[in-house]
Amino acid sequence: MSGNGSGITNRARAKRITVFNHKGGVGKTTLTYNIAAQLSVLGKRVLLVDSDPQCNLSAYVIDGEVLDYLLDESDSPTGQTVWTSLKPLSEASGTFKLIDPIELSSRLFLLPGDIRVSDFEEELNDFWRECFQRKRKGFAGIVALSELVNEVCSSHDIDFVFYDSGPNIGPLNRIILLDCDFFIIPAACDLFSVRALKTLGRSLYSWISQWRTMIELAPADMDLLPGHPRFLGYLPQSFSVYRGGIVRNQAKYLSLLENSVRADILVALREFDVAIPGASPKLGEVKDFGTLVAASQTEGVPIYEVRTAGTAEQRAAAREAFKEIAEKIIRQTR
Partner 1 sequence: MVIALDSNDMKQVEALVSHYEANQNLVSIFLKSMLGYIEESPELKRFAHSVRSRMKDPDHLRDKLCRKMSVAKEKDEPFDITQENLFVRINDLAGIRILHLHTTQMNDINQCIKAIVAEQPIELIEGPAARTWDDEYRSYFRGIGIDTKDSENMYTSVHYVVASTSRTKITCEIQVRTLMEEVWGEVDHSINYPHKTDSVPCREQIRALARQTSSATRLVDAIFATVADLVKKEN
Which residues of the shown chain bind partner 1 in the complex (CB under 8 A)? 1-5, 7, 132-136, 213, 215-222
Residues, the chain: 334
Burial code (b: 16+ CB inside 10 Å, e: under 16) for 187-207 equals bbbbeebbebbeebbebbbeb
Q: Of the two residues 221 and 313, which places its CB atom closer to partner 1 in the complex?
A: 221
Burial code (b: 16+ CB inside 10 Å, e: under 16) for 58-94 equals bbbbbeeeebeebbeebeeeebbbbbbbbbebbeeee
Count of Cβ atoms closer than 10 Å to residue 6 Cβ: 12
Cα–Cα dist 22/315, whole Å: 29
Tell the smallest beta-carbon distance from residue 134 to partner 1 (Å). 4
Q: Of the two residues 129 and 270, which places its CB atom closer to partner 1 in the complex?
A: 129
Q: Of the two residues 127 and 289, which places its CB atom closer to partner 1 in the complex?
A: 127
Q: Of the two residues 8 and 266, which places its CB atom closer to partner 1 in the complex?
A: 8
Q: Of the two residues 111 and 142, which places its CB atom closer to partner 1 in the complex?
A: 142
Q: Of the two residues 134 and 252, which places its CB atom closer to partner 1 in the complex?
A: 134
Tell the smallest beta-carbon distance from residue 228 to partner 1 (Å). 14
Tell the smallest beta-carbon distance from residue 143 to partner 1 (Å). 15
Q: Could you give the residue ranges of the DSSP H alpha helices within the chain?
A: 28-41, 56-61, 64-73, 82-90, 117-132, 136-156, 171-179, 191-217, 248-260, 291-299, 312-332
Q: Of the two residues 206 and 259, which places its CB atom closer to partner 1 in the complex?
A: 206
Element (H, E) at 105: strand 102-105
Tell the smallest beta-carbon distance from residue 5 to partner 1 (Å). 6
Tell the smallest beta-carbon distance from residue 211 to partner 1 (Å). 12
Cα separations in angstroms, 90 against 34, 149, 183, 208, 310: 32, 17, 27, 24, 45
Cα–Cα dist 240/183, whole Å: 25
Tell the smallest beta-carbon distance from residue 132 to partner 1 (Å). 6
Cα–Cα dist 174/20, whole Å: 11
Tell the smallest beta-carbon distance from residue 215 to partner 1 (Å). 6
Count of Cβ atoms closer than 10 Å to residue 280 Cβ: 12
Q: Of the two residues 36 and 218, which places its CB atom closer to partner 1 in the complex?
A: 218
Tell the smallest beta-carbon distance from residue 10 to partner 1 (Å). 18
Dihedral of CA atoms 235, 236, 242, 248 in degrees, nearest 10, equals: -150
Cα–Cα dist 315/306, whole Å: 8
Q: Of the two residues 2 and 10, which places its CB atom closer to partner 1 in the complex?
A: 2
Give the phi and the psi of residue 21 in degrees, each rounded to 5: -155, 130
Assign 194 to helix, strand or coil.
helix
Tell the smallest beta-carbon distance from residue 242 to partner 1 (Å). 53
